[in-house]
């Protein structure tokens, strides 16, 4: 079960070639890019390198000591583990002065508070007219996770609802096999915004109620899960479409994104097993999405359902949808306002001729992308502790590594030294998995069904409370502890969940200690 990474899935690779991502002539044993970002300056691996990489990423069988380089999960880009809320806000280790300056300028744009147009601060206007937050950092708190609102006084700044309606099969992205066609809500668009600039109406207010779900564990322990119900309340533009599908989203942590982008697509596709050919019960699938940047299908990597192919496109989409800031990939200065929201579309924009008519231009978007790519992964000083090693063995024995693939080696990149040819430990396969009815949102996204989610990376997860000030996990923050997050696993992960429920309490404690060490 732990050797799934060795078998390329030719059916998925064929989808990529059929979609025109690479010409058929590019197929061959040494071809690795497949659907990688064309902007990456990749040096192909040699046969010798491929053999060394296969040995380096092979699953360990020795749990008596830490593996070589395991204390540095981000490779040479790893940074010292800090004990304050800035643990996720450091630039990649070993970064040169000039590149660190770009990182700091990108940080300034990431932290910027945008204002409505027109404004005397021309470089900062263009907010909205509808928005979920006034700046990137407002959602990604200290570059970490957001959280659902806790009580009536807590606004939902780092959480919102995506929305879509069914559309005609094949109406879009017909080049992608198994694409699930959806469309934005005709009135409310692709996500619901709970804030608006002066003179405009916010779309809604997020409502959440919870129901307690007790789970009995071995040893007499009872864990109470909270099952959420989400509602779009105080709708200001009329009712939702009768077939509207809503999906909650909490902002994820930001560390290691450039390293995840630098993992060869071929290595991710090799993990896919959609028909469960090996019979292990795990059927990971690649999400193939349409790239707005490159106007073609690509492997989805980012977002909770792997709906974005690159860090740059994910950043551009967040500017447009979350803040209402136009940019080269999403140029509408009215952001998410639909044709039905006439006053919203007529509101003044902040596009500036000096910035190509956008509210953030290509240079600014590239700086935010650079910043996002280079938020460093902290070290793991306790990787060799006895209880952590015990928990690591429990993690492996329980089958968790069937989805949370421990390690990869990144591309050799001539222009990104921080991400180039590094052994990294993200604990994700970047694939979609059916997580069962309990976590289902019943809303498709590209090839992802309403039961599927991308395996989230686990690096840094033990620092969540330290960075964000509160512990919330999963796509909607319903889990308040790591154990609660595990107990919400279903579908393909149900056997692993049952093992955790039945294992001796000491093994569960060690498993949590291992996760907290990441």
The DSSP code for 191 is B
Q: Quick check: is 204 in a domain?
A: no
Angle among Cα 442, 475, 483 to the nearest 5 degrees reads 115
Q: Quick check: is 205 in a domain?
A: no
Buried/exposed code over 324-353 (b: 16+ C-beta within 10 A; e: otherwise): bbbbbbbeebbbbbbeebeebbebbbbbbe
CA distance 194 to 30: 49
DSSP result, 296-338: EEEE--BSTT--BSSHHHHHHHHIIIII----SSS--TTTT--
The DSSP code for 24 is G
Q: Quick check: is 188 in a domain?
A: no
Q: Quick check: is 163 in a domain?
A: no
pTM of the model: 0.92
Instruction: Give the SS3 label for residue 408.
Output: strand
Q: Identify which of 287, 311, 312, 282 has the alpha carbon closest to the alpha carbon of residue 297.
A: 287
pLDDT in the model for residue 353: 83
Is the distance from CB of 340 to CB of 129 less than 8 angstroms? no
Q: Identify which of 166, 146, 168, 143 has the alpha carbon closest to the alpha carbon of residue 157.
A: 146
Tens digits of pLDDT across the chain (518 residues): 233 333 334 444 444 443 433 333 333 333 333 468 888 899 999 999 999 999 999 999 999 999 999 999 999 999 999 999 999 999 999 999 999 999 999 999 999 999 999 887 777 899 999 999 999 999 999 999 999 988 766 666 789 999 999 998 766 666 788 889 899 999 999 999 999 999 999 999 999 999 999 999 999 999 999 999 999 999 999 999 999 999 999 999 999 999 999 999 999 999 999 999 999 999 999 999 999 999 999 999 999 999 999 999 999 999 999 999 999 999 999 999 999 999 999 999 998 888 889 999 999 999 999 999 999 999 999 999 999 999 999 999 999 999 999 999 999 999 999 999 999 999 999 999 999 999 999 999 999 999 999 999 999 999 999 999 999 999 999 999 999 999 999 999 999 999 999 999 999 999 999 999 99
Q: Quick check: is 225 in a domain?
A: no
Domain that holds residue 387: 12-61+69-144+255-518
Sign of CA dihedral 409, 47, 16, 315: positive
Q: Quick check: is 218 in a domain?
A: no
Determine the angle formed by the axes of helices 311-318 and 362-373, rounding to 10 degrees: 120
pLDDT in the model for residue 27: 34
Site of tokens 């009712």? 239
User: Considering its fold, how many domains does the chain have in total?
Assistant: 1
Q: Quick check: is 345 in a domain?
A: yes
Q: Quick check: is 152 in a domain?
A: no
CA distance 40 to 283: 29
pLDDT in the model for residue 123: 78
Tokens of 155: 């606004």
């Amino acid at each position: 079960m732990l050797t799934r990474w060795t078998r390329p899935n030719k059916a998925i690779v064929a989808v990529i070639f059929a979609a025109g991502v690479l010409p058929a002539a590019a197929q061959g044993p040494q071809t690795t890019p497949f659907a990688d970002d064309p902007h990456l300056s990749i040096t192909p691996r040699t046969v010798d390198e491929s053999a060394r990489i296969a040995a380096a990423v092979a699953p360990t069988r020795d749990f008596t000591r830490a593996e070589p380089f395991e204390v540095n999960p981000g490779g040479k880009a790893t940074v010292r583990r800090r004990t304050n809320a800035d643990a996720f806000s450091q630039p990649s280790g070993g970064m040169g002065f000039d590149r660190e300056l770009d990182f700091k300028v990108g940080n300034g744009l990431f932290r910027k508070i945008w204002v409505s147009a027109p404004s005397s601060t021309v470089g900062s206007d263009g907010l909205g007219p509808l928005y979920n937050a006034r700046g990137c950092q407002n959602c990604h708190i200290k570059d970490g996770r957001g959280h659902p609102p806790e009580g009536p006084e807590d606004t939902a700044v780092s959480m919102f609802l995506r929305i879509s309606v069914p559309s005609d099969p094949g109406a879009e992205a017909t080049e992608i096999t198994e694409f699930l066609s959806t469309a934005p809500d005709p009135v409310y668009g692709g996500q619901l915004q709970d804030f608006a600039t002066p003179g405009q109406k916010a779309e809604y207010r997020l409502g959440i109620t919870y129901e307690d779900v007790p789970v009995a564990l071995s040893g007499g322990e009872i864990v109470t899960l909270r099952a959420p119900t989400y509602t779009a309340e105080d709708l200001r533009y009329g009712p939702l479409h009768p077939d509207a599908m809503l999906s909650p989203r909490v902002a994820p942590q930001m560390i290691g994104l450039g390293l995840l982008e630098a993992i060869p697509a071929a290595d991710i596709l090799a993990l896919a097993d959609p028909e469960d050919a090996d019979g292990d019960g795990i059927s990971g699938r690649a999400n193939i999405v349409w790239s707005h940047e490159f106007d073609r299908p690509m492997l989805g990597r980012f977002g909770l359902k792997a709906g974005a192919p690159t860090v740059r496109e994910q950043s551009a989409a967040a500017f447009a949808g979350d803040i209402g800031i136009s940019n080269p990939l999403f140029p509408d200065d009215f952001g998410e306002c639909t044709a039905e929201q006439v006053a919203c579309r007529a509101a003044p924009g902040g596009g500036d001729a000096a910035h190509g008519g956008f509210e953030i231009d290509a240079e600014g978007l590239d700086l935010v992308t650079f910043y996002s790519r280079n938020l460093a992964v902290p070290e793991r000083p306790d990787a060799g502790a006895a209880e952590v090693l015990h928990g690591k063995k429990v993690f492996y024995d329980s089958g968790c590594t069937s989805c949370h693939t421990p390690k990869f080696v990144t591309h050799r990149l001539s222009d990104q030294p921080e991400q180039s040819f590094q052994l990294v430990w993200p604990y994700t396969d970047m694939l979609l998995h059916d997580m069962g009815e309990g976590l289902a949102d019943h809303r498709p996204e590209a090839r992802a069904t309403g039961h599927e989610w991308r395996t989230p990376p686990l690096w840094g997860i033990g620092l969540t409370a330290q960075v964000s000030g509160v512990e919330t996990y999963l796509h909607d923050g319903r889990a308040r502890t790591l154990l609660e997050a595990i107990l919400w696993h279903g579908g393909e992960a149900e056997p692993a969940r049952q093992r955790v429920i039945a294992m001796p309490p000491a093994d569960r404690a060690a498993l949590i200690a291992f996760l907290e060490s990441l």
